Each structure stands twice: as structure tokens, then as C-alpha cells.
Amino acid sequence: MTTPRAPKVAGIDSTVPSPPHTAAHAASLTPLAADELSPGGPLQDRLAGWVSDLTLLHELTESLIRTASLDDALRELLRAGASLVGARRGMAVLEPADGLGPVSKVGLGLAHADLGTIETVPRSVTSYGRILEGLAPLTEGALPRPIAVPDLCGEEDLDPRHREVAARLGYAASYALPLATAEAGKLGAVVWLYDEPAEPAERQRHLVGLYGRFATEHLARLLEVERARAQVSTVAEELLPSRLPRVPGVQLAARHRTGPRGGGDWYDALPLPEGALGLAVGSVSGNGPSALAAMGRLRASLRAYAVMEGEDPVAVLSDLELLLRLTEPARTATALFAYCEPQARRIVLAGAGHTPPLVIGEDRTEFVETSLSAPLGMLSCWEAPSVELSPAPGETVLLYTDGLLRRTGDPMDRAFARLHAAAASVPKADRADPGAVADHVLRTVLPDGLDAAAADGEDVVLLAARFE
């Protein structure tokens, strides 16, 4: 008969060796004396210790699961682990064993230069490096064991470089914990540094081991999300122009960021016959790989229509709407196409449910009054009148997607006002560079940056054209 496995309690794997105050001893199965059952007796003390440990682990894991990025999770891991093992400083290294990355290094109580100083020590002689290099002793499950160095100065065979760095940074002991589980694999290692010779007690090792396992699983989930985002972003970038064309009479600049879920915002700039230029921005409904694929098909189709009849933007969008309705009836899209004659500084444009362009110059900052029209794919037959404008020398026409407005988190009317104010405040020194204009608008409209949490799922596209 096989011995039954001990049950798991409150998410804690009971196969992890327990410290003395949490382990179940055979003596505990014998009848308890009256003094053990009395308040303040040994049993009461053990129960109080269990409750205290479970409460602490619950609080620390709750804080950890609220982190949404790998670096934030590593910082929280360092902070919580330091409180568990009684250390003040530490370093966490994310280095997945599969070699697919990403690789990250985060410190606690250590400056960036300090982390670089530690990295000058050969990995094979450091406790965390032995874990990362596969040189640490293994458990029965073939996972690295934690490594404690209670007194670095007392280590006779300590590498001289390691001794020098430890003296320079002022740490005298270390405790390294592998970030590895059977399910997640080997993701990295974390090491805490003590100012004086010390090492965590058995109870501390047990608690930080439990916490480390939970943290590793959380990091594995974040790693999967991060890799998926990177792949989506790479595909989106590859579907967009690799470079902007050079056309006499106009300077171009583009800024694009793919949201975490991979949206379908896009832009294009293509030279047309007789020195003309076609500019386009658009957005496909939905997100993820299917939206990216639809965006690529839509952009390729618009390029073909623009070459054939680009001087008539209404005809270009009408053809695009017919194609979308016939081939992808369940999808909608917004688009704006502008036919530009840079030498004559003449633009003819049409939009389908898209945000109006913005003209930025010395004497004016104003939105172009485009006709209201439905997005592509929403009507049985789409058509809207085109609009013609003539930018003055030195003026920049800014095309953008509504992701820029939505990322502000404001109602649309306030978002438009914010965009207008940002464009009007472009410094004179930057107006000659369309890239500087686009960067200023981004910084002003989105002061928290393109990676702000409020920007969940929203792509951002800016296409700036400065006419000479």
C-alpha cells in the first residue's frame, strides 16, 4: 500500500520541508497534556505561529499578484523576500533557461552602478551565478537548491574578485534562491545581501521558499504575456512601412506604438505618378492576430487603389469599402486617404469615420473640416465628398488615429481639446522638423507615456507631413 500524500493547505505545497515550528511530529499524535492545551502552552504557540506565517504569506502574495510587468514583479519579489530573510539589499536576475528571453536585472538598495560592479565578478564563483549556470546542487526534483553563504570573509577559497567587490559594496553574507519550479522551469535567480555575517533561520528559509515558488509561477505567467505582446508588436511593425519615401517638397515622419493586445491601427505613405504623394491612416476593428492580418490586407489593397486612382480619394475609399464588405462582412474599419501635390502644396482628402487631420503652422492650428461619414463596412454603399486644402509653406499636416485620443482617458471632446492645445504649443525651434512636432504632441497629450496603464489595448499612430 502506498503512503497517501499529505493534503495541501491554503495553497501551500506540503511536500516542501517544514521548519520545526510548522512540522508535524509524531509526538503531536499522542494525547496532549493539560499544560499544552492551556492558553500560552506549546500548542497555542504553534498555532499562533502557523496563523502568523499564513497571514504573512497571504499578504505578500496578494501584493505580488497585483504586479502587471516583469520588472515590477521582480522588485516586489525582492522587497518581500528581504523582509522574510531579514536582509536589506538584493538583486534579481530573470534569465529563462530556454534562451528566448527577455533578460532583466533588478536591484533592491543597489544603484545601477552597483549592479554593474557585481556583474564584474565571474558568475561561476557567486551563489546566484552558480544557480544560473547550473552549478548549484540539485533537489530530488532536479531543481537547484538555495545557496547560503553566511560569512563571505570566512570563505577561504573565495575568489579574490568576489572578495574585493563584497568589501567595496559592504556586504558580508548572501542567500540565493532559484526561481524555478517543475511547471515553470528555470527562470532565474534572486540573491539577498547581508551587511554582517548572517543567514536565514530554518523558518525563514521555509517561508521564502514557499513565496519563491509562488513568485516563480507568477513570473512565468507574466513572461508568457510579455512574449506574446512582443510577437504581436513585431508582426505589426513588419506590416507597416519599413521607411518613409522621399518626395521633393515635403518632409515626413511617423510614430507608431502597438497596444498590448495588438490592435489594427496603421499608416502608409507612397509616392504616386507625377511627383504626387499618397498619405493614409486607418484602424481596423478588433484586436489580436486577426486584426493585424486584416490591417495588412486593407493597407495592401489601399496601395493598389491609390496607384490606380489616387487623385480621387473618394473613389479609393469607395473601392476599399466594397472590398471590405465583400471579403470581410463582419469587420469594420476607419480610414483617411490624402492625395498630395507637394510642389503645389495642394491636398485632396476623404475620410470614412476617421478623426480629422490637424494643420499646425505659425499662424494657425486648426482641425480640417471633413465631412461626417460612417466607417467602412457599415453601409451598403459608402460615399462622402472630398475636402481640399492648401497648407502654407512650413505648415505641418498631422494625421492620427483615435487611439491617441482614447489613451488620454478623457471624453472625446476634451481629448480633442488636449490635442489642439498640444499642437498649438509646439516650440518654434521644433516646427521645422515633423518628427519633433510628432514627439512634442505625444509628450504633451500623453504625459504618462505610451505605456501608461490607462492605454489598455489602444494603438497609437501619428503621420506628420511638413510642406516646404
CATH for 69: 3.30.450.40
DSSP 147: E
In angstroms, the Cα distances linking 86 to 80, 177, 200, 297, 379 are 10, 14, 7, 57, 66
As given in the structure block, the three cell numbers for residue 360 are 499646425
Range of the domain at 213: 51-230
Rounded to an integer, the average pLDDT of 302-317 is 92
Is residue 351 domain-resident? yes
Quick one: 248 and 225 in the same domain? no
Contact 288, 232 (CB under 8 A): yes
Quick one: 226 and 277 in the same domain? no
pLDDT digit string, tens, across residues 226-260: 888 888 777 777 788 889 999 999 999 999 887 76
Rounded to an integer, the average pLDDT of 10-25 is 40
pLDDT digit string, tens, across residues 252-281: 999 988 776 667 899 999 999 999 999 999
Residue 196 has pLDDT above 50, yes or no: yes
Quick one: 206 and 80 in the same domain? yes
**What is the pLDDT, as a whole number, of residue 51?**
83
Three-state DSSP state, 431: coil
Which percentage of the chain shows pLDDT scores above 70? 88
Is residue 44 domain-resident? no
CATH for 256: 3.60.40.10
Tell me, what amino acid is at 301?
S
Quick one: 305 and 172 in the same domain? no
Domain final residue pick, 197, 230, 263: 230
Residue 125 has pLDDT above 80, yes or no: yes
Half-sphere exposure of 394 (CA within 13 A, CB side): 10
As given in the structure block, the three cell numbers for residue 333 are 474599419
Quick one: 323 and 281 in the same domain? yes
More confident residue, 100 or 287: 100
Binned at pLDDT 50, 70 and 90, residue 14 comes out as very low
Quick one: 203 and 272 in the same domain? no
Residue 190: how many CB atoms within 10 A of its CB? 28
Give residue 199's Cα distance to chain centre: 36
Three-state DSSP state, 269: strand
pLDDT digit string, tens, across residues 329-338: 888 999 999 9
Residue 210 has pLDDT above 80, yes or no: yes
Quick one: 191 and 275 in the same domain? no
Quick one: 201 and 334 in the same domain? no
Mean pLDDT of the chain: 86
Which percentage of the chain shows pLDDT scores above 90? 62
Domain final residue pick, 206, 230, 254: 230
Residues near 378 by Cβ (< 8 Å), separated by ≥ 6? 332, 353
More confident residue, 448 or 207: 207
Domain final residue pick, 173, 201, 230: 230
Quick one: 226 and 267 in the same domain? no
Helix axes 434-445, 412-424, angle to 10 degrees: 140
Is residue 149 domain-resident? yes
Quick one: 246 and 222 in the same domain? no
Binned at pLDDT 50, 70 and 90, residue 197 comes out as very high
DSSP secondary structure string, 331-392?
Answer: --EEEEEEEEEGGGTEEEEEEESPPPPEEE-SS-EEE--PPP-PPBTSSSS-----EEE-PP
Binned at pLDDT 50, 70 and 90, residue 9 comes out as very low
Is residue 13 domain-resident? no
As given in the structure block, the three cell numbers for residue 211 are 513565496
Quick one: 138 and 264 in the same domain? no
Beta-bridge mates of residue 334 = 283
In angstroms, the Cα distances linking 386 to 35, 260, 314, 377, 390 are 92, 34, 6, 19, 14
Q: Is 429 exposed, middle or buried (0-12, 13-18, 19+ CB in 10 A)?
A: exposed
Residue 394 has pLDDT above 60, yes or no: yes
**What is the pLDDT, as a whole number, of residue 240?**
83
Binned at pLDDT 50, 70 and 90, residue 383 comes out as confident
438/283 Cα distance (integer angstroms) = 19
* Nearest residue to 66 via CA among 215, 223, 258: 215
Q: Rounded to two decimals, what is the model's pTM?
A: 0.67
**What is the pLDDT, as a whole number, of residue 374?**
84
Quick one: 81 and 132 in the same domain? yes
Binned at pLDDT 50, 70 and 90, residue 449 comes out as low
Rounded to an integer, the average pLDDT of 279-302 is 88
pLDDT digit string, tens, across residues 336-372: 999 999 999 999 999 998 999 999 999 999 999 877 7
Is residue 21 domain-resident? no
Please state the domain count of the chain.
2
Rounded to an integer, the average pLDDT of 390-401 is 95
* Nearest residue to 321 via CA among 382, 259, 252: 382
